[in-house]
């Protein structure tokens, strides 16, 4: 089961330790966050204690209004649950009673400079990405005219060579050879393994450092995949789509990605075709489809 280490969350979110017990290895299994206002009011039914707990001004000021005995009872019960951590937003001072019961049960407590809403949103975004379903697929991912394009095909079909030409035309590399893909909000985000970041292998030349050869504008760390390109060897016996009637898709982590199948043979400018495929996809997103225009012209011609 995927999880995030508490220390990684602390570093990423810039949290300041108020009480961080030794030998505590909290693990976070869900991206969801709880603001325990109801728990501070004494309601513990359906308490999602496995989530990170965040206290803002409302909860903290409410705690300070409680009578001392009531405060102790509720905080004692709150910290008796195995919460991964409590984070106090807005850089507020943490009530001494909160620290006392955190130490009693050895529950980590942190402070954050960010306002409560911003802290919650940032933490959810970070945890969602870290806990997302993930796979690694052989291929190349680039940003072409702002569209995330994933190029797949058999080894030796020319994926890297085609991608190099696209980079030379001004497009940006995300990953070559191995593409890490995460499912986030039913979308696919591509990144590159650290080992091969900014690098590309070209048979006969070797390993190329794209960042140093073409500049920082030629690479990108991550990109949502919107279009897949499948390169395959030209088959004279196969009937290829010539007017765009066929709609092809591939499934990655149960997400369907529109796919263009491009047959490869000598003389075809594959990089130019991929550019046109990306532009055509953008046109469709904006509501224009060349096939619809063709059909209207054909219909009008038949009717006249």
**Residues at the annotated binding site for ATP?**
153-160
Q: What angle separates helix 68-80 from helix 96-105, to the nearest 10 degrees?
A: 30
| Interatomic CA distance for residues 79 and 106, integer angstroms | 8
- Distance spanning both ends of the chain, measured CA to CA: 65
Rounded to 5 degrees, φ, ψ at 128 are -60, -40
| Interatomic CA distance for residues 22 and 16, integer angstroms | 15
- The DSSP output letter for 219 is B
Which pairing describes strands 147-153 and 227-233: parallel, antiparallel, or unpaired?
Answer: parallel
Active site residues: 138, 159, 177, 242
Q: What order do you get walking across the sheet with 16-19 strand by strand?
A: 16-19, 109-111, 86-88, 52-55, 33-34
Which residues participate in the annotated binding site?
Answer: 153-160, 201
| Interatomic CA distance for residues 99 and 258, integer angstroms | 53
CB-based contact 233:264 (threshold 8 Å): yes
């Amino acid at each position: 089961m995927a999880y995030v280490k508490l220390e990684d969350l602390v570093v990423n979110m810039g949290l300041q330790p108020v009480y961080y017990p030794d030998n505590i290895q909290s693990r976070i299994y869900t991206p969801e966050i709880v603001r325990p206002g109801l728990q501070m009011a004494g309601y513990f039914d359906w308490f999602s204690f496995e989530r990170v707990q965040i206290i803002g001004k409302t909860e903290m000021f409410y705690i300070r209004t409680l009578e001392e005995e009531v405060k102790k009872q509720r905080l004692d019960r709150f910290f008796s649950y195995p919460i991964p951590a409590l984070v106090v937003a807005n850089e507020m001072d943490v009530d001494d009673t909160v620290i006392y019961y955190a130490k009693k049960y050895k529950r980590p407590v942190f402070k954050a400079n960010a306002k409560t809403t911003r802290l919650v949103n940032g933490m959810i975004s970070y945890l969602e990405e870290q806990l997302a379903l993930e796979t690694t697929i052989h291929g190349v991912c680039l940003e072409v005219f702002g569209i995330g394009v994933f190029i797949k095909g058999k080894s030796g079909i020319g994926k890297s060579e085609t991608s190099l030409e696209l980079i030379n035309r001004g497009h940006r590399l995300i990953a070559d050879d191995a593409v890490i893909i995460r499912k986030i909000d039913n979308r696919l985000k591509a990144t590159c393994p650290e080992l091969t970041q900014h690098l590309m292998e070209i048979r006969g030349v070797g390993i190329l450092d794209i960042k140093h050869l073409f500049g920082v504008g030629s690479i990108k760390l991550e990109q949502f995949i919107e279009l897949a390109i499948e390169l395959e060897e030209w088959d004279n016996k196969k009937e290829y789509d010539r007017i765009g009637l066929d709609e092809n898709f591939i499934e990655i982590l149960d997400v369907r990605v529109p796919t263009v199948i491009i047959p490869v043979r000598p003389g075809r400018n594959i990089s130019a075709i991929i550019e046109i495929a990306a532009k055509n996809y953008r046109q469709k997103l904006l509501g224009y489809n060349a096939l619809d225009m063709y059909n209207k012209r054909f219909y009008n011609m038949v009717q006249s």
